[in-house]
């Protein structure tokens, strides 16, 4: 068994693959053969970024809503969920 020489792909060739994937003209397997890379290298996608400000805003909104509902339950004479 011969050992395969490690290849170095240029940034230009690296940027061609995602563009072809987005266009959807060929399947991932066909693109892997065309660019001589493994299927998993094309399939792997970066993790989505988390927008912390939006999450903090949603948490604040939910806390405010819970406090409002607890106050309304207390005024109505019903037992609240908080203990």
The per-residue pLDDT for range 23-55, each reduced to its tens digit, is: 888 998 999 999 888 888 888 766 678 899 999
Which of 62 and 78 is assigned the larger pLDDT? 62
Residues 6+ positions from 7 with CB-CB distance below 8 Å: 36
- The pLDDT of residue 47 is 65
pLDDT at 65 over 90: yes
Q: How far apart are CA 24 and CA 18, in angstroms?
A: 10
pLDDT tens figures, 4-13: 888 888 888 8
Q: Where are the domains of the chain?
A: 9-45, 48-83
């Amino acid at each position: 068994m011969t050992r395969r020489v490690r290849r170095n792909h240029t940034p230009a060739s690296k940027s061609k693959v995602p563009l072809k994937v987005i266009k959807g003209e060929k399947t991932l397997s066909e693109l892997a053969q065309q660019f001589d890379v493994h299927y998993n290298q094309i399939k792997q996608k970066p993790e989505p970024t988390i927008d912390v400000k939006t999450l903090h805003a949603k948490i604040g909104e939910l806390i405010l809503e819970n406090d409002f509902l607890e106050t309304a339950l207390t005024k109505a004479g019903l037992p609240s969920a908080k203990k």
